[in-house]
Amino acid sequence: MGISDLLGAMMQSGMAPSSDQRLQNALGGGGGGGGGLLESLGGLLGGQRSGGGLGNVLSGALGGGGGALGGMLGNILNQAGQAAGGKQNLAIGGLGALVGSLLGGGGKSLGGAVGGGVMALLGAMAFKALQGSGQSSEQVPLGLLEPRTETDRLELEQRTELVLKAMINAAKADGQIDGEEIQRIVGKLQEVGADSEDQRYVMAQMQKPLETEGLIYAAKGRPELAAEIYAASLMAIEVNTSAEKAYLERLASGLGLAPEVTRRIEQMVGLQPL
In tens digits, the chain (274 residues) has pLDDT values of: 789 888 988 888 778 889 888 988 888 744 444 344 554 444 444 433 333 334 443 444 344 433 332 333 345 556 666 665 555 566 666 776 777 677 665 555 455 688 888 998 898 889 888 988 888 777 777 888 888 899 999 999 999 999 999 999 999 998 877 777 788 788 878 887 778 888 889 888 988 999 999 999 999 999 999 999 999 999 999 999 999 999 999 999 999 999 999 999 999 999 987 6
Residues 136/262/158/23 CA torsion (nearest 10 deg): -120
Give the HSE-up count for residue 22: Cα atoms under 13 Å, Cβ half-sphere: 26
d(CA 2, CA 84): 26
Q: Taking a C-beta distance cutoff of 8 angstroms, is the pair 99, 58 a contact?
A: yes
Q: Taking a C-beta distance cutoff of 8 angstroms, is the pair 10, 98 a contact?
A: no
DSSP classification of residue 145: B
End-to-end CA distance of the chain: 37
Give the pTM. Answer: 0.82
Domain assignments of the chain as residue spans, ordered by start: 3-268
In the prediction, which pLDDT does 223 show?
Answer: 93
274 three-class SS? coil
Give the HSE-up count for residue 200: Cα atoms under 13 Å, Cβ half-sphere: 3
d(CA 6, CA 142): 19
